[in-house]
Amino acid sequence: VTEPKKDLVESPEQAASSGSLAARLSLSHKAGGVAVPVATVVLAFLIGGLVVLATGHNPLLAYRDIFDGAGLNWIFHPTTDTQGSIAAYNLTQTLLQSTTLIFTGLAVAFAFRCGMFNIGGEGQYIVGLVVANWIGVSFAGMSTLPHVLFAVLGATLAGAAWAGIAGVLKATTGAHEVISTIMLNWIAIYTATWLFGAGGPLQNNLPGQSTNPVSNDVVHSAQLPVFWGSQGFQGLDIGFFMAIGALVVFWALINRTTLGYEVRAVGFNPDAAAYGGINVKKNLIRAMAISGAFAGMGGAVDMLGYLYHYGSLDVQNSAAGGVGFIGIAVALLGRNTAVGVFLGSVLFGGLIYGTTQGLSSNVIEPELASNVTLIIQGLVVLFIGADILILYVWNSRKRLRRQPPTQAPAKAAA
Amino acid sequence: MTAWGQRLENPVSDRLRDPRTTGIVALGLGVFAAFLAIPPIEARSPIWPVVVGILAVALGIWTATRGKRKLGWGAVVGGLLGIGLGILATRSGTGNLEAVFDATLIDQTFGLATPLVFGAIAGMFAERSGIINIGLEGMMLMGAFFGVYGADKGGSWVIGLLIGMASGGLLALVYAYFAIHLRADQIVGGTAVNFLAVGITGYFFQLVYNGNVTGNVPLIPNVHIAGLGHFLENSIGNLNLLTWASFALVILAWVFFFKTPLGLRLRACGEHPRAADTVGINVYLVRYCAVVLSGVLVAIGGVYLSLGPQGNGTFIFDMTSGKGFIALAAMIFGNWRPAGAFAAALLFGFSSALALKLQVYSPQASTLFATLPYVLTLVAVAGVIGRTVPPAAEGKPYAKQ
């Protein structure tokens, strides 16, 4: 492991050999500013558009319909005519989706800040869903505020514990968190399938529904109030503000606390951090647990906010392009910062809803368009990962600007 | 982010990771599995002895691949016997035992293990050359879809297999470019590959087949071997062609890695690329070839999923559902060695096959049983990583000078 870099503008070779992922990410982020994620998104959309074009659809019209499907055209229809109210409904759905992605994005981002790749957001989110459902269904006698707090707290702690397993394994035995969180994902997925499944402990006890592998609805006292739209039609609940609160907590934790400082130091260079007196193992466990807490809370907010119940098939379907995985794209695109995660989650929230239920288009059908979302997501992650390319382009631009072209290509100084 | 594991000093876990200790524990668990069913414990469900027995087998494989062969394989046999005796005792009748342990169990074990074997060996090619391939899952998915596509449009399973292999290789080439030339972080890149594969296969599945493959495509044939007697004929007399190919691949991979100059060069690139470069090995070329070959091989596993006896010519969205990751786990479990990975893949296949059989007794518990390979891997990586040494330069991008 090399020593921490003070210079931002270094050669790509040096950047590649600097060991830690967090160091590399922060390097490429600072090098490109906002331009890099924006360029990444544009490029990913261009390639996605090419795929659409190559298969005989008009990409511009398709993207316009997706934009409308996400309800973003609400800005142009603030009135309450029919089109405006459809747009408003779509926008609430987009924001519901974004709420989830803020939580799972923060889960990935926090671990990244400590130099770890939390690929297990999906499992931590499912654990949160399960615990929130159990508490929300079981303790029917409680009044609203304590019931909601109890459910959210329980799910948050469960998510933290689930991710904490990976943190403890990493700190004590050196087991790579990528492998352990992947395994924890699948364990969570199959366990939840069993819990909600026919004869499982959390399956519903409604008459005539004994073969339906779906849970009970959480009772009214545990449901989050809706502030935009109506409760019966999946309106936007106050979970959205809880997500905004989580963003603020994330920002404050990372930037304004000793904990955040230690986590970042370990992420940047564990050896240097240990030399400076920081307990690396403790921070690895702590960062993983906090990371899982965000995802678990996301599960609780979704369960209490609009899902109310969940089923085995929902769990199985989430295995492929689940919200935990989209959180990776959100965090990488958002450069692991609070503001970035917010913007990333609105983008992907819009893409997801705008290409599925929200899409009414005669250019491209939702079944096809939803896969374009997956392709764009993959491309975004692929390009962001190639930080050397970004650095190289950035550096050569700087060199061109600062040095006369006749000079020998020396290493650029900051 | 570098290789899979880092050596951490920890006296307690060091002692736990000693193969001898593990081997003895494994033997103990094997015996325990059998005793679970009789007084004083008297477990009523066959699931418990089976779980403990499989844990014993897993630890046995781990021990055997890490130096203590006799003890390890002894534990494997002990675990298997424990499972058998445990089921016998909980069901108290040989008829029930035969219902679980018949020849088709062996057939299903090999069948379910086939994609894992291809995936594990494929992963080994990439990782031995120094590139972590977490995109195995995605490349397998490519093989699964484009195998069906090729077999359908080309009218022959051979064309399906070839197109499936090409699709996996192509995706691997894209990944290789990002991982080798652009020196992207390999785990981020591999994750991207998995997303891309779900999107690409889902898009074309919808576009070409409207989300529904008829299943009316030429399948990869089974190899019928007659005249073996009843038991052998039911167990290995009707295995798929690709299952036999996977057996051959394990041997070929072992010969390639450890008995040929080319294999030595490939391993050199994974252990010390600078040294390999110095003696004139083209590190980039070797790594490109290894990653693309890795994509091609794992795609064969994918083709098996859709065109083999289980898929029966159908494709469904995100068909692999984690099999690529189990293959990756089998490779790590097997200590980056062909024989070890093969044994691990067989164990995971065996536990899946048992889950299918035990469905008769308890459908709910068999869902829970599906977590077993993942739990085993989690337990294994906790112990395995420190003791085993993955290729030294794995995960580190190499910059030419």
Quote ipTM for the complex.
0.84
| Amino acid in the structure at residue B358 | L
The answer, yes or no, to whether residue B65 has pLDDT greater than 80, is: no
Average pLDDT over every residue of A172-197? 88
Q: Which residues 6+ apart lie within 8 Å of B173 measured at CB?
A: B288, B291, B292, B295
What's the CA gap between B201 and B143, in Å, rounded?
A: 9
Contact B327/A at CB under 8 A: no
Tell me, what's the pLDDT at A387? Answer: 65
Q: Which of A68-82, B183-197, B247-261 has the lowest mean pLDDT?
A: A68-82
Which of B8, B182, B195 lies nearest to residue A386, judging by beta carbons? B182
Among B6, B1, B67, B20, CA closest to B385: B6
The answer, yes or no, to whether residue A400 has pLDDT greater than 70, is: no
Which of B1, B188, B328 lies nearest to residue A381, judging by beta carbons? B188
Average pLDDT over every residue of A251-264? 93
At A82-114, the pLDDT tens digits run 777 788 888 899 999 999 999 999 999 999 999
Average pLDDT over every residue of B114-140? 95
* pLDDT confidence tier of residue A396, bands split at 50, 70 and 90: low
Average pLDDT over every residue of A386-404? 65
Which candidate in B381, B384, B394, B400 is best for mutational testing of the A interface (most A CBs within 10 A)? B381
**Average pLDDT across chain A, whole number:** 84
Q: Is pLDDT larger for residue B187 or for residue B89?
A: B187
CA angle B8/B14/B20 to nearest 5° reads: 145
Q: Which of A139-153, A267-281, B320-334, B353-367 has the lowest mean pLDDT?
A: B353-367
DSSP calls for A195-256:
HHSTT-TTB---TT-TT--BBPPPPGGGSPPEEES-GGGT-EETHHHHHHHHHHHHHHHHHH
* pLDDT confidence tier of residue A162, bands split at 50, 70 and 90: very high
Average pLDDT over every residue of B165-190? 92
The answer, yes or no, to whether residue A246 has pLDDT greater than 50, is: yes
Query: Dihedral, CA atoms, B60, B66, B70, B71, nearest 10 degrees?
Result: -50
Phi, psi of B224 (to 5 degrees): -90, 125
The answer, yes or no, to whether residue B178 has pLDDT greater than 50, is: yes
Across A313-317, A360-364, B164-168, B190-194, which has the greatest mean pLDDT? B164-168
Average pLDDT over every residue of B369-382? 78
DSSP state of B178: I
Q: Which of A4-8, B35-39, B249-253, B397-401 has the lowest mean pLDDT?
A: A4-8
* pLDDT confidence tier of residue B1, bands split at 50, 70 and 90: very low
Q: Which chain A residues are closer than 8 Å to B370 by Cβ?
A: 190
Average pLDDT over every residue of A358-366? 78
* Residue that the structure tokens 């770890």 belong to: A116
Among B394, B322, B336, CA closest to B120: B336
Across A12-21, B198-207, B364-373, which has the greatest mean pLDDT? B198-207
In terms of CA atoms, which chain A residue is nearest residue B380? Answer: A175
* Residue that the structure tokens 């290509």 belong to: A409
Tell me, what's the pLDDT at B84? Answer: 74
The answer, yes or no, to whether residue B191 has pLDDT greater than 70, is: yes
In terms of CA atoms, which chain B residue is nearest residue A320? Answer: B318
pLDDT over 70 for what percent of chain A? 84
The answer, yes or no, to whether residue B2 has pLDDT greater than 70, is: no
Tell me, what's the pLDDT at B168? Answer: 97
Q: Which chain A residues are closer than 8 Å to B394 by Cβ?
A: none
The answer, yes or no, to whether residue A3 has pLDDT greater than 60, is: no
Q: Which of A66-75, A383-392, B290-299 has the lowest mean pLDDT?
A: A383-392
Q: How far is B93 from chain A (nearest CA, A)?
A: 27
Q: Do A191 and B368 touch (CB under 8 A)?
A: yes
What's the CA gap between B16 and B31, in Å, rounded?
A: 20
Q: Which chain B residues are closer than 8 Å to A388 by Cβ?
A: 182-184, 397
Among A159, A161, A115, CA closest to A278: A115
Tell me, what's the pLDDT at B76? Answer: 76
* pLDDT confidence tier of residue A13, bands split at 50, 70 and 90: very low
Phi, psi of B240 (to 5 degrees): -70, 155
Cβ–Cβ < 8 Å for B358, B50: yes
Q: Do A375 and B199 touch (CB under 8 A)?
A: yes
Here the tokens at position B200 are 């690409």
Query: Dihedral, CA atoms, A316, B4, B347, B109, nearest 10 degrees?
Result: 60
Tell me, what's the pLDDT at B165? Answer: 96
CB atoms within 10 A of CB A152: 26
The answer, yes or no, to whether residue B45 has pLDDT greater than 80, is: no
Tell me, what's the pLDDT at B51? Answer: 78
Which of A117, A179, A197 lies nearest to residue B4, judging by beta carbons? A179
Q: Which chain A residues are closer than 8 Å to B10 by Cβ?
A: 172-173
Interfacial A residues in 330-369 facing B (CB < 8 Å): 332, 365, 367-368
In terms of CA atoms, which chain A residue is nearest residue B2? Answer: A19
Here the tokens at position B276 are 């390999």
Measuring CA to CA, how many Å separate B397 from each of A26, B46, B174, B292, B394?
18, 49, 16, 17, 8
Which of A169, A328, A380 lies nearest to residue B382, judging by beta carbons? A169
Residue B28: Cβ-neighbour burial (10 angstroms; 0-12, 13-18, 19+): middle
Phi-psi region of B130 (alpha: psi -120 to 50; beta: other; left: phi over 0): left
Q: How far is A158 from chain B (nearest CA, A)?
A: 18
Contact A178/B at CB under 8 A: yes
Judged by DSSP in three states, A277 sits in coil
Tell me, what's the pLDDT at A210? Answer: 81
* pLDDT confidence tier of residue B119, bands split at 50, 70 and 90: very high
CB atoms within 10 A of CB A258: 8
pLDDT over 90 for what percent of chain B? 40
The answer, yes or no, to whether residue A302 has pLDDT greater than 90, is: yes
At A20-46, the pLDDT tens digits run 666 666 665 565 667 778 888 888 899
Average pLDDT over every residue of A58-75? 84
Contact B142/A at CB under 8 A: no
The answer, yes or no, to whether residue A337 has pLDDT greater than 80, is: yes
Tell me, what's the pLDDT at B9? Answer: 53
Q: Which residues 6+ apart lie within 8 Å of A178 measured at CB?
A: A117, A119, B134, B187
Q: Do B182 and A186 touch (CB under 8 A)?
A: no
pTM: predicted TM-score of the whole model, two decimal places: 0.85
The answer, yes or no, to whether residue B385 has pLDDT greater than 60, is: no
The answer, yes or no, to whether residue B16 has pLDDT greater than 60, is: no
Q: Which chain A residues are closer than 8 Å to B189 by Cβ?
A: 382, 385-386
Tell me, what's the pLDDT at A26? Answer: 64
Contact B211/A at CB under 8 A: yes
Paired residues of A236 in beta bridges: A228
Tell me, what's the pLDDT at B8? Answer: 53
Phi-psi region of B92 (alpha: psi -120 to 50; beta: other; left: phi over 0): left
Average pLDDT over every residue of B306-312? 87
Tell me, what's the pLDDT at B381? Answer: 74
Cis-peptide, bond into residue B309, ω within 30° of zero: no
Here the tokens at position A268 are 């940047």
Q: Which of A230-244, A273-287, B50-64 has the lowest mean pLDDT?
A: B50-64
Tell me, what's the pLDDT at A36? Answer: 75
Across B21-35, B72-86, B289-303, B368-382, which has the greatest mean pLDDT? B289-303
Q: Is pLDDT larger for residue B290 or for residue A7?
A: B290
Tell me, what's the pLDDT at A19? Answer: 53
Across A25-39, A72-86, A179-193, B63-77, which has the greatest mean pLDDT? A179-193
The answer, yes or no, to whether residue A5 has pLDDT greater than 70, is: no
Tell me, what's the pLDDT at B386? Answer: 45
At A120-151, the pLDDT tens digits run 999 999 999 999 999 999 988 888 899 999 99
Tell me, what's the pLDDT at B383? Answer: 65
The answer, yes or no, to whether residue A395 has pLDDT greater than 80, is: no
The answer, yes or no, to whether residue A413 has pLDDT greater than 60, is: no
The answer, yes or no, to whether residue A409 has pLDDT greater than 50, is: no
